[in-house]
Amino acid sequence: MTNSFADFAKAKMFFVIGSNMTEAHPVAATFLKNAVMNGAQLIVSDPRRTKLAEFAKVHVPIKVGSDVAYLNGLMHVLIKEDLYDRDYVERCCTGFEALKAKVMEYPPERVAPIAGISEEMLIDVARRLAAVKPAMLIYTLGITEHTCGVNNVMSCANLQMLLGNVGFECGGVNPLRGQNNVQGACDMGALPNVFPGYQKVEDPAARAKFEAAWGVKLPEKNGLMMPQMMDGLVDGKVKFFYVFGENLANTEPDIRHVEHCLESAEFMVCHDIFPTETTRFADVIFPAAAWSEDDGTFASSERRVNRVRKVSQAPGQAKPNWWIFKELAKRFGQEWASNSGQEIWDNEVSHLAPSLVGIRYSRIEGDGLQWPVPDLEHPGTCTLHKDGCFTCGQGKFAAIDWTPPAEVPDAEYPVVLSTGRRLTQYHSRTQTGRCLGLNDILGEETADISPQDAARLGIAHNELIKVRSRRGEVKVKARVTQEVPEGMVWMAFHFREACANWLTNAVFDPVSQTAEYKACAVQIEKI
Amino acid sequence: MSKPTLTINGMTVEFQPGQTILEVARAAGIYTIPTLCHLKDTTATGSCRMCMVEVERARTLLPACATVAAAGMVIHTESPRIDASRRMVLELLLASGNHNCLVCEANGVCELQALAYRYQVATPDFAYPPDHPYYLEDNKNLIRRDLSKCIMCGRCVRACNEKQVNQAISIGYRGAHNKIVTRADITYSDSDCVFCGQCVQDCPVGALLELKAMGQGRPWETHKVRTTCPYCGVGCQLLLHVRAGKIIKVTGVEGAAPNKGRLCVKGRFGYDFIYSPERLTTPLVRDKKGGELREASWDEALDLVAAKLKETIAKHGPDSVAGVSCARSINEDSYQMQKLFRAVIGTNNIDHCART
């Protein structure tokens, strides 16, 4: 997030796209709803009529995968009607002429049929966005989980720069991150192209810095991204696969394909706290300490590094994950000095990552600090690119074309499947499935379908149906709901038997390698 | 322009126009005005009448939480008249329900109990609770609603509507039949309730309770540890209520960034997985593909993995090893894993689920 959750309660205008916040980020959504109740305007762009859409001034039910066309269409109107922030664009941004030329190719009459909305609605939304400043743009996986995910993200940034909304409190581009520490795992360099603090592994100076710190020679070229690793398992490039705390066999698209990849590993190691569908493929499983059984830190969506504290003993012989890695290093003759979460952070991480230099455990006993925190007196950074002064110099517009999802409905598979999370369960339920009460609220998967489709197919609410894609099929209860538009089925991936990932399409954004969980084609059948 | 002033307990204090008497008093360091229905950051209703204060020249006592301060007011927060009024309110509240502290979960944190102690109101002079059964429901193993202890302060209503904006709880019926209801007076389970539990956290008495915490320990037997929620990326701050090394209850940390005490159903109730008997408790090794797992010592399992790693690197090079880190675990674990891959194995084939 360029901005902070504290802005949510104060903002006057929200543009939420591809985010089912009341279920996936419920507490953040409460502050947004508070602002709306106090008069802020909310525009929700989502194919589904989500709970949040009920609070919206305008719900824009764009078609799945039409985001770039829709956002280009909004920018078309803003430029054509001269409603954009000309001063900000000239002062803070580059690439405007190319952007303008591109979005001029997206007039309302072209965008309306692609996005499945009226021209009037598109123009109305653009005018509303220009009327209140700043507006806060919030997105989640509805933007990123597409083969054009990177283009979707850049289009969100284009829109906010065009409106002059980046760099101000209650503005900005704000992705809500799905896992408690997905921000932190990125910050720590659990990525194939960067060291901790986003220092590029291909940069000789960065390598030299880490070589000096760790006392070893480091590899020079970028590594594989996760989907490439999976393919590598099958084609033999990857022999040894090390899976720490992920249940890939449920959470990756096209389970049949994923399991084939995992079977192909010559040797596989897992760390986990429970046996999972993924540990079935492991040759060695290390039992790990869980949340609240170890001291450490998480980094949240708003770049805030928060303390996590130990209150319980890990069961049996389970050990902290950092200890397991340290023990393996020792068997290669490397004695790592740090011997606790605090020593790792205070003595290594905060010295190596420039944006985290000012964060020490002693400073985050209460509220955490939002990076960048360049020194030990720095109070943290609530808003990035302050006043339009972009970290990289100037904001770069990108001229982007719309591309449809890799698999679109056809005569054989006429319905769009889109997937996501539900409020009461979390991912593959290794944790929430073992919490008393949560299964009482949501105990099984459903396929959410529209009343129109239900009527056409003669399907009753709670009736068992088949949902089939080119990858597989599941039997699942139909949940007939007006949240879902005609021609769409929506499912989550919380329950193994009816997991949406038996159906999803393992195609990826070419740059980010993010899978297209949000769009594939299926057929629905009454049993 | 200078700020307006008023006099409170003999002190002359400045205030911001629009502040209530309660806010002015607390800003002036007077924390002794008792409240029950008052809930920070929500609309003042002035319904419980505990916070009554004397304002000179006013005809009646006034509720501090719902009376806007005015310039020149002369306020007294304690007096025999005020005491009598508060005592009467307490007697009425205690008489209105089944306020038996002996086995009540709220014993020790109950605001009604604390005020009864402060004002030494032992047993109401009025009738005991009526003999018809009070409404009690247990919902989804998560929330107990026991209206025999409800004092109709309305905090749950405002917690639900004004804080979480889930719009599930309201006040139903009229007059003496007033009652907290969900939808048209149905159970939490059948209503629009999403089990965020904000109403439980904000209930001043024992009318709303976490079922999982019942019988697990008294408030004074627990110590409270602040931590960060393990689910989504908002980073809510949790207060773990720990007894004998075990979490028995979770509440939100009031005033903390970013959640200001609020939690969702997972943050509040999704903690007990760590005590599941299905936890992995010992290293496991599979001697051949497709074979059964067997228990192993740490040394055996670690030595085996190290040997296999060395063998793979020697035969196929370091880039034949790949790994994914965990976006749920702590930063320090991810740091160690990428260090293992880069500095020990010699490959950048390290990733995690951020992209998928």
What is the domain partition of chain A in residue ranges? 5-176, 178-221+297-308+336-377, 415-526
Confidence of residue B122 (pLDDT cuts 50, 70, 90): confident
At A174-233, the pLDDT tens digits run 999 999 999 999 999 999 999 999 999 999 999 999 999 999 999 999 999 999 999 999
- Three-state secondary-structure class, residue A92: helix
Among chain A residues, the shortest Cα distance to B304 is held by A284
- CA distance linking residue B18 with residue B35, whole number of Å: 19
- Going by pLDDT thresholds of 50, 70 and 90, the confidence category of residue A482 is very high
* Chain A: closest CA distance from residue B319 (Å): 7
Rounded to a whole number of angstroms, the distance from the CA of A104 to the nearest CA of chain B is 31
Overall average pLDDT of the A159-179 stretch: 97
With left for phi above 0 and alpha for psi between -120 and 50, is residue B255 left, alpha or beta? left
- Helix A119-131 and helix A108-115: axis angle, to 10°? 110
Q: Do B273 and A290 touch (CB under 8 A)?
A: yes
Which residue among B284, B303, B339 sits closest to A214, beta carbon to beta carbon?
Answer: B339
Place of tokens 């005015």: B70
pLDDT at residue number A72:
98
Largest CA distance in chain B: 94
Inter-residue contact A148 to A509 (CB < 8 Å): yes
Q: Does domain B222-279 have CATH number 3.40.190.10?
A: no
Q: CA-CA distance, B136 to A441, in Å (whole number)?
A: 19
CB of B82 within 8 A of CB of B76?
yes
> What is the fold, at CATH topology level, of the domain defined by A415-526?
Barwin-like endoglucanases (2.40.40)
- Please judge whether B142 and A184 are an interchain contact, meaning their C-beta atoms are less than 8 angstroms apart: no
Interchain proximity B335–A189, CB inside 8 Å: yes
Query: Nearest-CA distance from A116 to chain B in Å?
Result: 27
Q: Which among B228, B262, B285 is the nearest to A27, CB-wise?
A: B262
The answer to whether B337 contacts A189, with C-beta atoms less than 8 Å apart, is no
Nearest-angstrom CA–CA distance, A121 and A59: 10
CA distance A113 to A121: 12
pLDDT in tens, A261-272: 999 999 999 999
Under an 8 A CB cutoff, do A180 and B164 touch?
no
Contacts of B29 (CB under 8 A, 6+ apart): none
| Number of helices and strands in chain A (H, E) | 19, 23
- Contact A312/B349, CB-based, under 8 Å? no
Mean pLDDT of the residues in chain B: 95
Nearest by CB: B351 against A181, A229, A332: A229
Task: Supply angle C-alpha B222, B224, B228, rounded to 5.
Answer: 140
Per the CB < 8 Å rule, is A284 touching B304? yes
Contact B338 A196 (CB under 8 A): yes
The mean pLDDT value for A108-135 works out to 98
Q: For residue B211, how many other CB atoms are within 10 A of its CB?
A: 18
Question: Mind spelling out the 3-state secondary structure of chain B?
Answer: CCCCEEEECCEEEECCCCCEHHHHHHHCCCCCCCCCCCCCCCCCCCCCCCCEEEECCCCCCEECCCCECCCCCEEECCCHHHHHHHHHHHHHHHHCCCCCCCCCCCCCCCHHHHHHHHCCCCCCCCCCCCCCCCCEEEECCCEEEEHHHCCCCCHHHHHHHHHCCCCCEEEECCHHHCEEEECCCECCCCCCCCCCCHHHHHCCCCCEEEHHHCCCCCHHHCEEEEEECCCCCCCCEEEEEEECCEEEEEEECCCCCCCCCCCCHHHHHCCHHHHCCCCCCCCEEECCCCCCEEECCHHHHHHHHHHHHHHHHHHHCHHHEEEECCCCCCHHHHHHHHHHHHHHHCCCCEECHHHC
Closest-CA residue to B270 (of B236, B213, B231, B243): B231
Percent of chain A's residues with pLDDT above 90 = 99
Mean pLDDT of B315-323: 98
Best CA proximity match to A74, nearest among A107, A25, A27, A31: A107
Q: Do residues B201 and B150 lie in contact, with contact meaning Cβ atoms separated by under 8 Å? A: no
Given this model, what pLDDT does residue B131 score? Answer: 60
pLDDT score recorded for residue B172: 94
Rounded to whole angstroms, how far apart are CA atoms A10 and A38?
Answer: 9
- For A315, name the nearest residue in chain B, comparing CA atoms only: B281
| CB-closest option in B246, B272, B351 to A225 | B351
pLDDT tens for each residue of B213-260: 999 999 999 999 999 999 999 999 999 999 999 999 999 999 999 999
pLDDT at B197 over 90: yes
Q: How far is A262 from chain B (nearest CA, A)?
A: 12
* Tokens linked to B348: 């950048």
CA B195 to chain centre: 12
Option in A195, A274, A282 nearest B279 (CB): A274
Give me the pLDDT at residue B27, please: 96
pLDDT tens-digit readout, A87-98:
999 999 999 999
Chain A residue with Cα closest to B355: A514
pLDDT surpasses 90 at B208: yes
Q: Are B153 and B37 in contact (CB under 8 A)?
A: yes
Range B142-160 average pLDDT: 96
Interface test with A, best of B326, B341, B347 (most A CBs within 10 A): B326
Contact list, A356 vs chain B (CB under 8 Å)? none
State the pLDDT confidence band at A54, using cuts at 50, 70 and 90.
Answer: very high
Give the one of B326, B332, B349 whose C-beta lies nearest to A246's C-beta. B326
Contacts A424 to B, Cβ<8 Å: 195, 265-266
- Average pLDDT of chain A, as a whole number: 97
When pLDDT is cut at 50, 70 and 90, the band that residue A386 belongs to is: very high
Q: What is the pLDDT of residue B103?
A: 87
Phi, psi for residue B227 in degrees, rounded to 5:
-150, -175
Banded pLDDT at B127 (limits 50, 70, 90) = low
Residue B204: how many CB atoms within 10 A of its CB? 24
Q: Give the β-pairing of B169-172 and B5-8.
A: unpaired
Interface contact B163-A34, CB threshold 8 A: yes
- Measured CA to CA, the distance from residue B39 to residue A299 in angstroms comes to 31
Are the C-beta atoms of residues A102 and A158 closer than 8 Å to each other?
A: no
| Partner-chain residue, chosen from A218, A286, A294, that has the shortest CB–CB distance to B301 | A286
Tell me what pLDDT residue B129 has.
Answer: 59
pLDDT for B159: 98
Q: Does position A481 have pLDDT exceeding 70, yes or no?
A: yes
| DSSP H or E run through A297 | strand A296-299
Instruction: Check whether B1 has a pLDDT greater than 90.
Output: no
Measured CA to CA, the distance from residue B169 to residue B156 in angstroms comes to: 7
Q: What is the pLDDT of residues A58-68, one digit of tens each?
A: 999 999 999 99
Contact B327, A485 (CB under 8 A): no
Contacts of A274 in chain B (CB under 8 A): 276, 278-280
As a whole number, mean pLDDT of residues A301-316 equals: 98
Q: Which one of B195, B236, B351 has the shortest CB-CB distance to A441? A: B195
Nearest to A332 among B306, B326, B335 (CB): B306
Contacts of A327 in chain B (CB under 8 A): 298, 302
Q: Cβ contacts (< 8 Å) between A305 and chain B: which residues? A: 331
The arithmetic mean of pLDDT across residues A127-138, rounded, is 98
- B-chain residues near A189 (CB < 8 A): 334-335, 338, 350
Name the more confident of B81 and B124: B81
Secondary structure of residue A42 in the 3-state scheme: strand
> What mean pLDDT is predicted for residues A40-48?
98
Chain A nearest C-alpha distance from B165 (Å): 6
**Whose CA is closest to A374, among A389, A388, A354, A391?**
A354
Domain A5-176 falls in which CATH fold?
Answer: Dimethylsulfoxide Reductase; domain 2 (3.40.228)
Nearest CA in chain B to A30: B164
Answer yes or no: do B278 and A275 touch at CB < 8 A.
yes
Closest alpha carbon within chain A to B227: A308
Domain range list for chain B: 5-78, 222-279, 284-355
Query: Which two three-digit tokens encode residue A247?
Result: 């249940």
CB A476 within 8 A of CB A459: no
A339 within 8 A of A322, measured Cβ to Cβ: no
Q: Which residues of B touch A214 (CB under 8 A)?
A: 339, 342-343
Average pLDDT over residues A511-516: 96
**ipTM exceeding 0.95?**
yes
In this complex, do A226 and B274 lie within 8 Å of one another by their Cβ atoms?
no
Tokens 């066999």, residue located: A249
Strand duo A415-420 + A520-526: pairing: antiparallel
Q: Distance between CA atoms of A466 and A505, rounded to whole angstroms?
A: 17
Task: Residue B339: list chain A partners with CB under 8 A.
Answer: 214, 325, 329, 336
Across the interface, do B270 and A426 touch by the CB < 8 Å criterion?
yes
Rounded to the nearest angstrom, the minimum Cα separation between A440 and chain B is 5
Average pLDDT over residues A426-442: 96
Determine the pLDDT at residue B36.
Answer: 98
Across residues B297-315, what is the average pLDDT?
98
Shortest Cα–Cα distance, A160 to chain B (Å)? 22
pLDDT at B317: 98
Q: Which residues of A touch B304 (CB under 8 A)?
A: 284
Residue listed under structure tokens 């079977």: A263
Torsion angles phi and psi, residue B138, rounded to 5:
-110, 130
pLDDT digits (tens, 9 = 90+) for B53-67: 999 999 999 999 999
Return the bridge partners of A200, or none.
A194
Q: What architecture is domain B5-78?
A: Roll (3.10)
| Number of other CB atoms surrounding residue B19 within 10 Å | 16
Q: Which pLDDT does position A188 carry in this prediction?
A: 98
User: Which of B232, B318, B337 shows the shortest C-beta gap to A178?
Assistant: B232
Do A242 and B324 make contact, defined as CB atoms within 8 angstroms?
A: yes
Residues 6+ apart with CB under 8 A from A323: none
Do the Cβ atoms of A95 and A397 come closer than 8 Å? yes
User: CB contacts < 8 Å between A and B, how many?
Assistant: 460
Residues found in chain A: 527
